[in-house]
Structure 1
Amino acid sequence: MPDWVEDGAVYFITICCAERGANQLCVPAVADEIFEAVRFRQTRRDWHVHLLVLMPDHLHALISFGRDKAMKAVLANFKEIVAKKTAVRWQRDFFDHRLRSDESHDEKVAYIRRNPVRKGLVTVAVEWPYVCSMNNQPDAAGPAVPPYL
């Protein structure tokens, strides 16, 4: 991370599959591998996943990265691990946006949680099974402090 980014900064991340429109991620076996990779990275203190929602051809997440961890390298390694264990092919890059306020955080939580509803996959957000949160309270008003800070 650049030295001007404070420890524990939360990033809104979007990672897309190479083949858009095809359901690659919302398959139970694939989702299990993705969530296992998320937990593995968490135990290594590479990141703290506040919220992650899988969509058929992309994922959205709110993530804080560990001290001295390069976001690009951590995400590239995550994508590589998932690709080796599944048939998922990722786009080369990803989208990231640092959240600078509680309001921005709340807005992104709502956007992520409601995405399956907006896409017509479920009628209410709580019905969507492809959700991972390491906070225990994914809709809390502010970001949880990652355990490594």
Structure 2
Amino acid sequence: MPDTPINYLLAVGLTAGLTVICVGLHYEALRLISSIHPKRLSGKLNIAVMILLIILTHCIEAVIFSGGYWLGTEWLGIGRLTGMQEHGPAAYIYFSLETFTTQSIGDIVPIGQLRLLAAVQPLVGLILIGWSTSFTFLIMRRDWQWDDERGARN
């Protein structure tokens, strides 16, 4: 992993590409979740399903980033992750999940230009988690209000 301009460009491209993919996925997931609103179920059940779908979406986004770490390590040669006992998919997913959530225990450390991806992923994760929080608030307000109106009619 030489310290060359092309490797930095590869890291920037990989980071930008993964960011765009995850933001697009997040938008589409929230749009889909918003359109699913079965009136025959309680608002509380809708909210529970929504939360589970949002958690699943965040996990998928972390898996997408883990693919970026694998790609950067194995194909692009722009860095590697040190401290991994095993170099299989589970290790990349573990590192990506802890980075996405900003937990960052520190047992696995990126080196080389792959550090750019590891530096930007928590920012992306925080923004997407914040977006999910705002969305959850709006849906809860809508569903709980709908439950209250339905209860008043009965």
TM-score normalised to the size of structure 2? Answer: 0.28
Give the TM-score, by structure 1 length. Answer: 0.29
In terms of fraction of residues, the more strand-rich structure is 1
Larger radius of gyration: 2
